[in-house]
Amino acid sequence: MWFPIVLLGVIGFAAYFLNWNLLLSLDFSVVWEYRMVLLKGLMLTLALTACAAVLGLFAGTVLAIASQSGFAPLRWIVTAFVEIWRNTPLLVQLIWIHFALPLVTGINTTALESGVIGITLQASAYFTEIVRAGIESVPKGQWEAAYSLALPARIRWTRVILPPALRTMIPPLVNLTISFFKGTAILSILHVSELMTVTNRISNVTFKPVELFSSIAVIYFVVGYLMSKGTLRVEYYLQKRER
């Protein structure tokens, strides 16, 4: 009964303090004006996300399999890799790769290359954990059946263990991919020309940061939302096929 009244009160209170002049002065035409540049930025963001997801999942799967090895030093290396990349900021990692690594190795990488390497490495660390959990969720009986049928190791992994493991991993994989999609924004520190970088550049020449950054927030939201809904449908379809 009193709840709508309180809500109205809060809204009114907020409206009173809002700077209506500022809101009314917003000019979103700048977004339309620079639409092609922004679109190009979005494409690069999506390409970087795809890189992180595909290469990261591949490397993560290899590392997760290595983490099941009977050879202890191999397991330690995997654990060290995963923990280091998961527990340091992506920003620091990018600076290592872009500025420190060339000093050590003598190989210079472009901003884009450094960005791809950084985000892929961090993605592989996170994906390793997810794939490992997926592998461990496969019942022991599936392993035993595979062993007792003398299936070669490669077949055992690719055809018996990984398919059901990947199935259980779809929701966490989607969530992780979406967080890397948003995470690409950090690559703007290297001026990689993805969506965040180009928005920054436009904002620097047009002086319309509020309009631009609010608009790309909406773009990030919509694309992320579609990714999550779309992939969950795929999962639903796969499940239905086997029931």
The only residue of 101, 133, 164, 219 in contact with other proteins, by rule CB under 8 A: 164
Q: Which is nearer to other proteins, 204 or 243 (CB)?
A: 243
Q: How far is it, in rounded angstroms, from Cα 130 to Cα 166? A: 9
142 binds other proteins (CB under 8 A): yes
Long-range contact set of residues 132-136: C-beta below 8 Å, sequence gap at least 24:
132/64, 132/67, 132/68, 133/169, 133/172, 134/64, 134/165, 134/166, 134/168, 134/169, 135/64, 135/65, 135/68, 135/161, 135/162, 135/165
Among residues 163 and 171, whose Cβ is nearest to other proteins?
163
Cβ 236 to other proteins, closest distance in Å? 16
User: Helices 111-136 and 162-183 meet at what angle, rounded to 10?
Assistant: 140
Residue 56 · residue 126 · CB < 8 Å: yes
| Closer residue to other proteins (CB): 70 or 106 | 70
Question: DSSP states of 189-200 as a string?
Answer: GGT--SHHHHHH
Among 22, 141, 204, 205, contact with other proteins (rule: CB under 8 A) = 141
Q: Does 18 bind other proteins (CB under 8 A)?
A: no
Site map (CB under 8 A) of other proteins, residues 88-127, x = contact: ----------------------------------------
Tokens found for residue 130: 């997810």
- Report the first-to-last Cα separation within the chain, whole angstroms: 47
Q: Amino acid identity, residue 121?
A: L
Phi-psi region of 69 (alpha: psi -120 to 50; beta: other; left: phi over 0): beta
Kindly state whether residue 201 participates in binding other proteins, applying the rule CB under 8 A. no
Q: Which is nearer to other proteins, 9 or 163 (CB)?
A: 163
Q: Considering the complex, what minimum distance in angstroms separates the CB of residue 69 from other proteins?
A: 15
- Does 144 contact other proteins by CB under 8 A? yes
Nearer residue to other proteins within complex by CB, 96 or 143: 143
Residue 39 found at the interface with other proteins (CB under 8 A): no
CB 186 within 8 A of CB 94: yes
Is residue 150 near other proteins by the rule CB under 8 A?
yes
Helix residue ranges per DSSP H, 89-110? 90-95, 101-105
Please report whether residue 234 would count as binding other proteins according to CB under 8 A.
no
Which of 54, 145, 218, 226 binds other proteins (CB under 8 A)? It is 145
Residues composing the chain: 243
Rank residues 98 and 156 by Cβ distance to other proteins and give the closer one: 156
Cβ-based nearer residue to other proteins, 87 or 148:
148
CA gap 195, 225 in Å, rounded: 17
Q: Which residues bind other proteins (CB under 8 A)?
A: 139, 141-142, 144-145, 147-152, 155, 159-160, 163-164, 167, 242-243
